Amino acid sequence: MMNAPLIIVGAGHAGGRAALTLREEGYAGRLILIGDELHLPYERPPLSKGVLQGTAELAGCTLCDSERLAELGIEHIAGNPATHLQPQQHRLQLADGQWLAYAGLLLATGGRVRRLPQEQAHVLYLRTHDEALALRSALKAGTRLVVVGGGFIGLEVAATARGLGCEVILLEAGPRLAGRVLPPVISEALLALHRQYGVDVRLNVALESIQTDAVWLVDGQRLPCDLVVVGIGMQPNTELAAAAGLEVGQGIRVDSHLRTSAPGIYAAGDVCEFRLGGEYQRQETWRNAEAQGRHAALNLLGRDVPFEALPGFWSDQYDWGLQAVGVITPLTVSRPLASGGVLLFYLDADQRLQGACGWAPGNSVAKDIKLCERLISAHLSLARASLADPELSLKHLLRG
Ligand SMILES: Cc1cc2nc3c(=O)[nH]c(=O)nc-3n(C[C@H](O)[C@H](O)[C@H](O)COP(=O)(O)OP(=O)(O)OC[C@H]3O[C@@H](n4cnc5c(N)ncnc54)[C@H](O)[C@@H]3O)c2cc1C
């Protein structure tokens, strides 16, 4: 296997970042990046924002262009997914039948949208660039849109669709928006903002059926519509790994070094289940794909470093921005911001900052979240009254 290439399966964000990092870190051997999509590796966040608004194009979302890939000697095999993996033989097969031997392998297969059982032409989903284009051409001023799901994808689609002049109803099965990942106070703020922008948000509702001209709820309500967008989460693409006998839980399970249960095989990104704060979990975020893609590349090169990056995410809706870093703990301190937003701090029992979440106009909360990141790393014990005081700058707290 000495002369076999390093192979990355999944030419998305984590896979693309890993390939680029391998070259940046001096790996000069053969490097193959295998994708099932036809595009260069790209970042997905603009899909529900700029791409849907028509202000961003695919070229602006890719991690690099094809000239750069060629220059770096990264062999990008597009539209030809890996279909079988034989960890013991250190080889895998692609859809076109060819077998490839590998010296080291990274599985960065991401996920696909969860779909409703029945496929219908006016029911759209959003995960890929091609799906974003299909949705973009369907969203016209006056289109009556029903969004199913009040998580980030559903909320961002609703916000963008309102900006394009659509009439939007958003259906959420739970009692609050993005309830799985956001604290109640920010769910409330999101709800108020969407209603202010004219989205008819319905909480605690259950879908009965989708007809060609309407959505029916179980309570008998009929919601006339032209288009339905479903954003009810994603399913990690674990099948290749599971069929090869790798340990799989809610994702491909890895240890602290992003190693799967099979020697020489790593996993990174949305598909990867790793321990965070003692619990196995997956992170479906840009930051995680970026950090784990980079990290897996280092460990493929034998650096043997544990993955310890802080988790984090952001979301942009209308002219407001949400950002979070670190982990949520039960001990919360809230700081009102002059902008009308809010910053939440999560502390451990020793009053050390473990996480923060901010919601404010534009990108203004980014600065605070950066400082929170530094406060988390500094492991300082912080007075709750100081954290709550908007007059006291976080820079000041950092100085101890
Ligand atoms: C619309 C949208 C908006 C988002 N917005 C934000 C945001 O604002 N902030 C944020 O933090 N995060 C956001 N995210 C999440 C973020 O984009 C993802 O976490 C990130 O893309 C994950 O990267 P990945 O490489 O793990 O997976 P992916 O980007 O999904 O890449 C995996 C690739 O592998 C391919 N693949 C799967 N199986 C195979 C196979 N057998 N062979 C070959 N290829 C295969 C897949 O088709 C895909 O191309 C958003 C996601 C979406 C969909």
Atom of ligand 1 nearest to the CA of 271: 26
Q: Is 74 in the pocket of ligand 1 (CB under 6 A)?
A: no
Q: What is the pLDDT of residue 119?
A: 87
Q: Contact at 8 Å (CB) between 315 and 186?
A: no
Q: Is 238 in the pocket of ligand 1 (CB under 6 A)?
A: no
Beta strands 123-124 and 6-9, pairing class: unpaired
Q: What is the mean pLDDT of the chain?
A: 96
Using the 8-state DSSP alphabet, how is residue 119 labeled? -
Residue closest by Cα to atom 15 of ligand 1: 285
Atom of ligand 1 nearest to the CA of 41: 49
Compute, in angstroms, the gap from residue 388 CA to the centroid of ligand 1.
36
Compute, in angstroms, the gap from residue 47 CA to the centroid of ligand 1.
11
Q: Is 284 in the pocket of ligand 1 (CB under 6 A)?
A: yes
Q: Is 313 in the pocket of ligand 1 (CB under 6 A)?
A: yes
Report the share of the chain in percent with pLDDT over 70: 100
Q: What is the pLDDT of residue 2?
A: 61
pTM exceeds cut of 0.85: yes
Tens-digit pLDDT profile for residues 226-282: 999 999 999 999 999 999 999 999 999 999 999 999 999 999 999 999 999 889 999
Residue closest by Cα to atom 52 of ligand 1: 44
CA-to-CA separations, 115 to 100, 123, 229, 256, 317, in angstroms, rounded = 32, 10, 11, 32, 24
Tens-digit pLDDT profile for residues 151-203: 999 999 999 999 999 999 999 999 999 999 999 999 999 999 999 999 999 99
Compute, in angstroms, the gap from residue 290 CA to the centroid of ligand 1.
11
Residue closest by Cα to atom 7 of ligand 1: 45
User: What mean pLDDT comes out for the span 351-376?
Assistant: 96
- CB neighbour list of residue 130: distance below 8 Å, 6 or more residues apart: 37
Atom of ligand 1 nearest to the CA of 316: 8
1, pLDDT greater than 70: no
For residues 132 and 1, the model is more confident at: 132
Compute, in angstroms, the gap from residue 399 CA to the centroid of ligand 1.
38
400, pLDDT greater than 80: no
Tens-digit pLDDT profile for residues 199-224: 999 999 999 999 999 999 999 999 99
Q: Is 287 in the pocket of ligand 1 (CB under 6 A)?
A: yes
Q: Is 42 in the pocket of ligand 1 (CB under 6 A)?
A: no
Residue in 73, 3, 65, 75 with CA at minimum distance from that of residue 35: 75
Q: In what order do the strands lie in the sheet with 342-347?
A: 312-317, 320-326, 353-361, 342-347, 331-336
Residue in 193, 116, 130, 134 with CA at minimum distance from that of residue 158: 193
Q: Domains of the chain (ranges plus CATH)? A: 6-111+235-300 (3.50.50.60), 115-230 (3.50.50.60), 319-398 (3.30.390.30)
Residue closest by Cα to atom 4 of ligand 1: 45
How far, in Å, CA of 367 to CA of 45, rounded? Answer: 20
16, pLDDT greater than 90: yes
Tens-digit pLDDT profile for residues 100-157: 999 999 999 999 999 998 889 999 999 999 999 999 999 999 999 999 999 999 999 9
Q: Is 9 in the pocket of ligand 1 (CB under 6 A)?
A: yes
Tens-digit pLDDT profile for residues 42-88: 999 999 999 999 999 999 999 999 999 999 999 999 999 999 999 99
Atom of ligand 1 nearest to the CA of 312: 11
Q: What is the pLDDT of residue 277?
A: 82
